[in-house]
Structure formats: C-alpha cells, structure tokens
Amino acid sequence: MRRLNVGTAVAGGLIGGSIAWFLAHQFLATDNPSGSNQVTILTMVGWAIGFMIGIGAFHGPWCWLMGRDQSHEDEKFLAGDGQGIGRYFRFTTDHKVVGIQYLVVTMVLLGVGGILAMMIRTDLIRPDSGFLSPQVYNSVVGLHGLTMIIATIIMVTGPFGNFIVPIMIGARDMAFPRLNALSLWLIVAFVPVLFSAAVLGGIPTGWSGYAPLSDQAPPGMDAYLTAIVIFAISSAIAGANITTTILTMRARGMTWNRTPIFVWGTLASVGLAIPAFPMFMGSMVLLGVDRTVGGQFYVASGGGSPWLYANLFWLMGHPEVYVIVIPAVAALMELTPVFARKPLFNYTAAVLSIVGIVGLSIMVWAHHMYASGWAPDLNGPFMLTTELISIPTGIIFLVVLGTIWRGRIWTTLPMMSTYAMLWNFIIGGVTGIYLSDVPADYDLHGSMFVTAHFHYTLMGAGLTGAIGALTYWFPKMTGRMLDRRAGFASFWLVQIGFNVTFLSMFAAGLAGQPRRVEHYDSLFGVANLVSSLGAYVIGLGMLILLYAVVSSWRRGPLAPANPWGSKTLEWTVPNPIPLENFEVLPVVIADPYGYGEGDLRVPVPRAPAPAEAVAGAATGADGATTPTGAVMTRTDAPPIPEQERP
C-alpha cells in the first residue's frame, strides 16, 4: 500500500486496459460495428478498474476479505499523516487532502474546456475562417460542453464541500473517508476516458448525446458513455457521503437554524444529484446496449423511441443546472455577511428558497423539448412550473441584496464576486423567463440566444460563485493570502470579457443565428467577431487567476487563522489545520451570522496573570485593564491582513 501512487495507478490502468483489449479481441467478433464498440467499452472499463487497483482503492476491502483489517498505522498512512506533498498523489482519506485534489482536478478540467472554447471562438471569428472542419467543429463543441458541465458540477461541492464543510459543521472528517477518496479517484480515472473520444472519432452529437444520432456515432461515443457511467458512480458515492456527514456529524448545538447557509446549499446540491444523475447513467447503459448488442432502445425502426433518451437525459439535464448553481450562490451568501458585517438577510427565507428550487427543479425538464413535438398538451404545465421556479430564485437574489443593504461593506476580492453574480444572474434569470414561455421559445429555440442564456447562468452565476469561494477560503485551504492585485486584474478581465462575449451572442441569437453551426451568414459577422474578442479577454483573465493561485500558493504571505473576521467554525482552527481538525469538538450556542447585533464583544478565556504582574489587574488587548482571572474581550471588527490595508 505504501508504494502505491498516481504512477502505479496509470501503470495499472494501462495494464488493465491492455488485458481487456486482448481478451476482447480473442473472444469477440470485431469485424462489425457492434464488436468494435464492445472492444472499446471493455478496454475503457479495463483501464478504470486497473487504475483504481493501482491507486489502492481496493486495498481495504481486500484486507477485509483476507481476514485481516488495516492497522492503526495503516489508517494514519491512509490519512496522509506526516507524508508532506506526497499525500496529494496517493489514495488519501483526509478530507482536506481530497478537497485540494478536487480543486486541482477541477482546474485541469476548466483549463481543457477553456482551450476548447477558444478553438470554437477562433473558428467563429469569421463566417468562413476554416480554422476547424465541420466534423472537427462538432466534436470540439461536444467535448467542450461535456468537459465544462462536469467541471462546473464538481467545482464547488468537490473542493469546498470536502475541505470546508466538515470543519464548518465541527466534524473531524467525513462520515466515510475511504469512499471520499474513492469518489475523487474515479473522477481522475474518468478524465482520460472522456478525452480519448477526441482520437476515436469525436462526439458529433453535442454534449447532450441525442439518440438516434448517438447510436450511429463513431467509437468516440463509447468513450462518452463509459465516462458518464464512471462519473455517475463517483457522484453517487460523493453525494451519499456528504449527505451522511451533514445529517449525522454536526457539532452539538448546531441545530438546523444554526447551520451555515453554505452547508444547506451543499446538502441541497448533492441531494438533488443523487436522484438526477442515475437518469443520465441509465440512458448511457441503454445506449451501450444499443451499440454493443443491437438493443435498439432508441431506434424507431426496431421498436425503440428517441423520446426515451430525451426524457431520461433532461430528467438529469435540468436539475443539473441547480446542482451547479445552488452551492455556488450559497457560497456567496456565506461570505456576503462577513464583508457586509451584518447578519444574512432573512436566513429562513434563504433556506426555504433553496428547498423550493430543489423541489421545483425536478418538474421542469420538458421545457427543453417544447419545440420537439413531444407531448404538446404538457407544454402549459411545464411552462407554469418553469416560471414558478423563478420565485424562490428571485428570493435568493433579494436575500443577497438585503444583506448588502446598509451594510458596512469591506470591498475585498471575494465580495466583488457577489456583485458580479448579482449582475450576471439577473440577466440569466430574466432571459430564462423568455425561454420558459412556449411561443417565445419556439422563436428562440436552437439559437445563440439560448447559448448566451445558459452561459450567464452556469458561468455568470455558477463559476463566478466558485471563484468567490476560492478567493474567500484560499487562506484557510493553503495557509497563504491570495495575490490581491493579480486577483483584481483577473476579476475585471473575466467579467468584462464575459459580458462582451455573451451579450454579443444575445444579439446574434435575436437576429436569428442558429447554435452548433460552423459556417454562418455574414449578417452575423460583427456579433461573432466581438464575441470572439471577448472570449480572448476571458482567457487572459483566467490565466492571470491561475498565476495568482499558483504563485500565492507557493510563496504568498502567510495567512492568519481568521483573516476575514468570520464567525463560522472553519476559521477557529489554526493554520495549518491539524489532522483531525479539532482537539476538542466544539459546541455551538448561536447562529454564525451575528454581525453587528447588540454587544459586539466575544468572550475570550484569559490565562491567569503571572506572579510578578500587578495584583488584581491585567492589561487587555485594547489597553484597558480587567481584574485578574476575568474574561477578556475583543471586538468583532475583522483583522485586516497587511496586504489588504489601505
């Protein structure tokens, strides 16, 4: 076990894939499309199993089957105790290590997805640029879409749900530490499977993989469906683990009305994913049966129905939007009271709105199929549920505004993300109301207007919230302060570039430009040129953010334990955080948002005065004197790091 790491995992994956490929060629007929698909899928499965064996994911169960459990020393090794940087390249059960691993994987996925986006915008910079052929363009669009969707699904609940939530609720670790590591390494195993589609004929169906086109697609579609199954297993494991942790391991006194709003958002996100993602996994299993043994679930000529795939996909595809957005917005609701120095405006309304979004989001999936002709009599009910979901979404918007209103604002980099989310989310939300209306959707469906709308939702609100969470919790996760100048430069470049890019897409869509089209009419030339230039600005801003993260992580100024003056539990532990987080588990006696309410003094136990001190008095932090043995106090004004001071 001590010799296993990411290197042995890659070796194991290559060996497992090679064995599966050899056996498939020996025992299966490979001279027909079904046989070729069987070989591809079995090779991918062999890679994933070999990778997980090589990283040590099955070591614990194997020891148990052999009649011997792991020792205490083995458990400490699994937790990464005393291993330094090497623990980040192993199957490590410490939730803090898993959170950092998720952060790095998310950054890799966003980087690759961003490069693919630059390829798309470069091709569309002119009507006849010819940068990509139509076939390659379709494959790049599909791979970009799926990569970014997966990255945005895990970008908040992965890094911060693992690193921050257990400490925030006063726990020493996750409920199931080994499953926690398993979910992460399944994602790592998923990445090569997904990207292998690029050399196996691509994903010509777009990220949604619509049947019956997917039945006729090249072997790249086999990589697509195998990757989705692996990801669905990972998300189910992670969701069950986070849910169990939050439900059963909160500190004494942390009742539901004292639970931080970010914990609520994380719980809602994974709770929504648990029933939604198996729909996508089920659709991929049926597609695999179609492609390997001629099942014809989606082929009308064989008695199947493409509507089956469309419904299974969108039963996942719309809740997935809120799986992405809810934790990102909840992270911003978590940090906004800190920098407004006032309580979260109507905490109860925020929680009820999150619950309302979860409930309504599973009843709106068919609004994606208005123009398809499926069940037209249901268009009215689905239009109603879609418009109803704007009510709890709007309440969350008002909660953030109410928290800012008349607050003592400390304008830091995390707080800037809140402002950006408000601007972007209202554009995404208002344009979504148009698309929820059946007559308007008939006109706008399949246009660049739709592309701009969902980018304002997923990137404008979701990714902006994730960046805000990163800048807020960066000092706690790394022990360093993020480079302020580089962070602000990145923020403005990304936000300006983002709005230039997608406001131009709104203009192109309203003028009639269809989406997913490589060659377009010259009528849309100016809008696409402006949109591509804006995309390059986004890319530059994200590169600066990457520089800020890497350079600050390596040599940024050391961060104090609580640089923002926050009241949640993760800021009460020292930097670096101990292996088990808390020496003594905390007891919660108040909600975490009591900024500016009543007496701002927080009791701090004081050590007894030394013998040579003046009898009966001691000097406090503010220069005042208190009786020996009394409780000293400090105000809740946030300590300002040196680089943040004016």
DSSP 40-89: HHHHHHHHHHHHHHHHTTTHHHHHHHTT-PPPHHHHHHHTTTT-GGGGGG
The Cα–Cα gap between 192 and 16 comes to: 14
Residue whose C-alpha is closest to residue 503's, from 559, 571, 558, 455: 455
pLDDT digits (tens, 9 = 90+) for 528-547: 999 999 999 999 999 999 99
The pair of structure tokens assigned to 406 is 């008349």
Q: How far apart are CA 155 and CA 35, in angstroms?
A: 37
Q: Is a pLDDT exceeding 60 seen at residue 570?
A: yes
Under the phi-then-psi rule, with left for phi > 0, alpha for psi from -120 to 50, and beta for the rest, what region is 409? beta
Question: Which pLDDT belongs to residue 155?
Answer: 96
Secondary structure string (H, E, C) spanning 576-607: CCCCCCCCCCCECCCCCCCCCCCCCCEEECCC
In 3-state terms, what secondary structure has residue 610? coil
What is the tens place of the pLDDT at every residue in 338-364? 999 999 999 999 999 999 999 999 999
Position 629 scores a pLDDT of: 31
What's the topology of domain 92-555? Cytochrome C Oxidase; Chain A (1.20.210)
pLDDT interval class at 451 (50, 70, 90): very high
pLDDT, position 68: 83
Whether the per-residue pLDDT at 33 is higher than 90: the answer is no
How confident is the model over 441-452, as a mean pLDDT?
94
- For CA atoms 257, 259, 260, 261, the dihedral sign is negative
Task: Give residue 61's pLDDT.
Answer: 86
End-to-end alpha carbon distance in the chain: 51
Name the band, by pLDDT with cuts 50, 70 and 90, for residue 21: very high
Q: Is this structure's pTM higher than 0.85?
A: yes
Q: In angstroms, rounded to a whole number, what is the distance separating the alpha carbons of residues 577 and 353? A: 33
As a whole number of angstroms, the distance between CA 168 and CA 443 comes to 47
Residue 393 is predicted with a pLDDT of: 94
250 touches 316 (CB < 8 A):
no
pLDDT digits over 604-638, tens only?
333 333 333 333 333 333 333 333 233 233 334 44
289: Cβ contacts below 8 Å, ≥ 6 apart: 295, 297
**170 φ, ψ (degrees, to nearest 5):** 80, 30
Beta-bridge partners for 633: 603
Distance CA 304, CA 501 (A): 41
Among residues 97, 87, 62, the alpha carbon closest in space to that of 70 is found at: 62
Mean of pLDDT values over 195-205: 91
The reported pLDDT for the residue numbered 612 is: 32
Arithmetic mean of pLDDT over the chain: 90
Residue 64's pLDDT band, with cuts at 50, 70 and 90, is: confident
**3-state secondary structure (DSSP) of residue 294:** coil
Give the pLDDT band of residue 128 (cuts 50, 70, 90).
confident
When pLDDT is cut at 50, 70 and 90, the band that residue 597 belongs to is: low
Domain ranges across the chain: 92-555, 600-646
Please count the residues of the chain. Answer: 646
Mean pLDDT of 248-253: 95
pLDDT tens profile 78-106: 998 888 899 999 999 999 999 999 999 99
pLDDT band for 595, please (50, 70, 90 cuts): confident
Q: Report, as an integer, the average pLDDT of 282-300.
A: 93
Measured distance CA(204)–CA(290) in Å, rounded: 17
| pLDDT confidence band for 206 (50 / 70 / 90) | confident
Per-state percent for the chain, helix, strand, coil, to nearest 5: 65, 0, 30
pLDDT score of 642 more than 50: no
Q: Band of the pLDDT at 70, cuts 50, 70, 90?
A: confident
